[in-house]
Amino acid sequence: MRSLRIFATLICGSIALTGCKSEPQVKEYPFGVAEAVRRLDNSDSAGFRYARHCGVLFNFGSNKSDDHTVTWTARANRKDVLTFNVVVAESPKGVTLKLSVPLERNGREMYDGTQNYNHPILSQPIRPAIAELIESAMEKRSFDNERVEEEGRYIDRSPSGQSCSYDAQILARGFAADYDDPPGPSIENIQKLAAKNR
């Protein structure tokens, strides 16, 4: 009889658990809004850029948009090509952070792993790398690409992944891709490479 009650309890418990859906935990940081904003604004933007860039030269940095928001901007060819921001909110144990990445025309986030860019500036998906940028800022340490989720750490499997890889190889030989160029290598870069290899 006792084993029957244990068996019934186990069955009821497993049924109850299968119906439960856990909400993602919001991480709280144990300091005030001003300190969180200061840490975010002093993030290792250069380390992030170096670890994630493709072959287009671009400027990248952060600034405080207001007392609760830090915005990062990437600029290529004198125009903004990517921005994202983090809003800091007070919470019972300190602060919480909310990341916002703009949407493309197709309704999906920029550099989300499905986007196709002729000459991407960063490898996709970008959100896990941004999460590491934020976490490294909160811990006052350098950006560490080894801490990015494994799936998005090194290989860009997005539709523009091959362009990212190709542009990075060209950059390693001393020639940068241009963000506004049509797909593929520019004639100028092909001529420079040919002259270099003579």
64 in any annotated domain = yes
pLDDT tens digits, one per residue of 127-180: 999 999 999 999 999 999 999 988 778 889 999 999 999 899 888 988 888 888
How far is Cα 42 from Cα 20, in angstroms, rounded to an integer?
40
177: in domain? yes
Q: Which tokens sit at 48? A: 């992030």
Give the pLDDT score at 159: 93
Q: How confident is the model at residue 187 (pLDDT cuts 50, 70, 90)?
A: low
pLDDT at 18: 43
Say if residues 44 and 138 touch (Cβ distance below 8 Å).
no
Domain span at residue 47 reads: 33-103+112-196
Note every long-range contact of 81-84, with CB atoms under 8 Å and residues 24 or more positions apart, other chains counting: 81/121, 81/179, 82/110, 82/111, 82/121, 82/122, 82/126, 84/110, 84/126, 84/130
Domain assignment of residue 138, yes or no: yes
* Confidence (pLDDT) at 12: 44
Would 24 be classed as within a structural domain?
no
* CA separation for the pair 125, 149 (Å, rounded): 10
How far is residue 198's CA from residue 194's CA, in Å, rounded to a whole number? 6
Supply 124's token pair: 């996709």
Give 9-29 pLDDT, tens digit per residue.
444 444 344 444 444 567 999
Q: Is residue 15 part of a domain?
A: no
Provide the domain count of the chain. 1
For residue 51, report the phi and psi dihedrals to the nearest 5 degrees.
-75, -25
pLDDT at 74 over 90: yes
Strand partners, 95: 29, 90
In a domain, 4, yes or no: no
Whether 1 is in a domain gets the answer: no
Q: Which residue type occupies 197?
A: N
| 25 assigned to some structural domain | no
pLDDT (tens digit per residue) in 36-67: 999 999 999 999 999 999 999 999 999 999 99
CA–CA gap between residue 29 and residue 139 (Å, rounded) = 10
pTM, rounded to two decimals: 0.81
Give residue 189's pLDDT band: very low, low, confident or very high (50, 70, 90): low
Distance between CA 162 and CA 131 in Å, rounded?
A: 24
pLDDT grade for 87, boundaries at 50, 70 and 90: very high
**Closest Cα to residue 76, out of 109, 41, 117?**
117
69-76 vs 94-100, strand pairing mode = unpaired
